[in-house]
Structure 1
């Protein structure tokens, strides 16, 4: 690190280290703030789009009504996906100059396949192929389940950059990276270009912490509560080390922030972080020193205690802790899939409320 100071801690990080960050939203206003502070990417999913839509409903409601009127047989699902696509495409235009300048390395915004298809690789591939036609600077998000990893390989072979999500563990990270490598090698063997591809794998750092806290409460496990704030950091640092040692072409992307460790402990890494606007503002107003910590190991005492008392931490931290067929049954995976599917259901409810207005509301 040097003495360069940016306009904010996050901006300083991007100026003084190889660590990048993305905006964990497709909201144009939030993405604009993030880019002003050095962000080089963005992301979306049905849960995020639903939140954006609720905040910006006055702006998007006329478009929803227009789609509804232009498509007399359209279902709420059709309209919801059309709006998700249009919100993401609109945000992608802000990042397109970065994408072009970096020749595809940066300036990407992710769009997520239907979480309900987490067991169906063909459905994920088909939807991803469609998404790939919407805008050039995309990463297609799909879950790191067994089926999702099959889809990751196929999409990588087809030249489509992926963002594997619903991922919390080292075994998932390694499985995704290996799937990307298999797909890219198949593509290269046929003489096809891979130079503009930029696959990433997300590790939802804070959600591993969340899950171990649930386990502790369910099973009455007593440990130093501070240790539970380090579980995701330990797993993510382990995954990052393996990626660097093995030269995987997928990049590490951390997500799901719960404390400043989930940001500060990774500064200096050749990686990206996808951060919500709220957490960006918290970090930018903090007095946390921006310095290289990526190579600082998590205290072995913490790792030993977590492995001893939490079998699920061992599954998450050990490269051989789980097989792909076990990924969808891991507690954090089930919680997150349920959350994403519930978010999708809520989004359908917003669309339904516009398509079928409530006759019991005064004035309707």
Structure 2
């Protein structure tokens, strides 16, 4: 049996999503127990590059039907189509009471500092399909937006998040939105918020930081920074009874899968990781409640950015946190590359 399917059968509370809107990859994942999908500008660009033959007629027709539309407008039509197509594939397993069968669509990265624009786009995306989940970055503006999005009935996915401190702020913002709804007698039973921690990206950032600052850290510890932040946030979520579920993303090693098995949470795993995971001989057993070795935590505390991620960081500091800015830049670059693909259809030499 494929290992991810074995995991979902042994531990149904540990759910996994396909980290892509590719129909081919999502089909593979669904056959092995996946119950959701997610996307972002970099992923959409990658899918379009790999599967352009499947989309070129659609894009050509879009341009013909919308002769005065900008390249950005066409790009967003393509982004929305990919999300809606994925939503249709997931609809048979959609259950809004537990959150299965949703696909995440990401707001415009360029709105990272504008809560009003994030909210406006999220509310619109929520109308595209009944099983939409809306991603927005965990910046100070994003935290403000998450409360309002939740209040307006949107199931949010807080992305561009790398830390327990960001995750806690997300959980609290969602609770404020839910309480406002409750005060007005609105139903919260079909709202399924999640908060992403991009485990591999935090590890990457801390590894670079250690090298740049000439700080010697046990290299094994650097594989556990993101894992430690997820486990800390998960524990706090459970203690405080947040409705938001933890979600792990940005996979680098099997540890970032194995260490979360048994948790009441979600893993969004890229296809390129699913295939080797499925073919592995790892034992599928519960590890979520296993604490990260205190020695590793001690080693990681040598790095100031780990202390921020694990222990204490204000909402205002989210906007200057290194991995936040690096990822925002990469997401914006991925969107720019996507627009360049569309431009080639619109301006032909």
Moved more, 219-228 or 295-304: 219-228
In the alignment, which residue of structure 2 is the partner of 1:192?
A: 186
In the alignment, which residue of structure 1 is the partner of 2:165?
A: 171
After TM superposition, the score normalised by the length of structure 2 is 0.98
State the 1:104 CA deviation: 5.4
Distance in 2 separating the partners of 1:269 and 1:293: 8
Number of aligned pairs?
A: 348
Moved more, 151-160 or 222-231: 222-231
RMSD: 0.9
Deviation per CA, 1:220-240: give whole Å up to 9, x if none.
222211111111111111011
Are the equivalent residues in 2 in contact too, given 1:77–1:348 (CA < 8 A)? Answer: yes
2:146 to 135, 145, 152: 152
Are the equivalent residues in 1 in contact too, given 2:14–2:261 (CA < 8 A)? Answer: yes
Structure 1: which 4+ aligned runs deviate by more than 3 Å? none
In the alignment, which residue of structure 2 is the partner of 1:250?
A: 244
In the alignment, which residue of structure 2 is the partner of 1:50?
A: 45
1:265 aligns with 2:256: no
> What SS does structure 2 have at the residue aligned with 1:106?
coil
Distance in 1 separating the partners of 2:239 and 2:331: 33
1:315 to 308, 319, 325: 308
Distance in 2 separating the partners of 1:170 and 1:182: 19
Distance in 2 separating the partners of 1:218 and 1:165: 26
> What SS does structure 2 have at the residue aligned with 1:224?
coil
Distance in 1 separating the partners of 2:126 and 2:210: 42
Are the equivalent residues in 2 in contact too, given 1:19–1:267 (CA < 8 A)? Answer: yes
Distance in 2 separating the partners of 1:74 and 1:34: 35
> What SS does structure 2 have at the residue aligned with 1:136?
coil
In the alignment, which residue of structure 2 is the partner of 1:207?
A: 201
Are the equivalent residues in 1 in contact too, given 2:218–2:299 (CA < 8 A)? Answer: no
Distance in 1 separating the partners of 2:46 and 2:138: 23
> What SS does structure 2 have at the residue aligned with 1:119?
coil
Distance in 2 separating the partners of 1:211 and 1:220: 14
2:54 to 46, 52, 59: 59
* Unmatched segments (≥5 aa) in structure 2: none
Distance in 1 separating the partners of 2:130 and 2:143: 23
1:23 to 18, 43, 49: 18
Alignment map for 1:30-49 (pairs within 5 Å):
30-49=25-44
> What SS does structure 1 have at the residue aligned with 2:94?
helix
Are the equivalent residues in 2 in contact too, given 1:254–1:273 (CA < 8 A)? Answer: yes
1:137 aligns with 2:131: yes
Distance in 1 separating the partners of 2:244 and 2:49: 33
Distance in 2 separating the partners of 1:247 and 1:208: 26
After TM superposition, the score normalised by the length of structure 1 is 0.94
In the alignment, which residue of structure 2 is the partner of 1:329?
A: 320
Are the equivalent residues in 1 in contact too, given 2:175–2:242 (CA < 8 A)? Answer: yes
State the 1:171 CA deviation: 1.0
In the alignment, which residue of structure 2 is the partner of 1:79?
A: 74
State the 1:59 CA deviation: 1.0
> What SS does structure 2 have at the residue aligned with 1:253?
strand
Distance in 2 separating the partners of 1:151 and 1:104: 23
Deviation per CA, 1:87-125: give whole Å up to 9, x if none.
11011111111114x645210000000011000000001
State the 1:43 CA deviation: 0.6
* Unmatched segments (≥5 aa) in structure 1: 1-6, 360-364
1:342 aligns with 2:333: yes
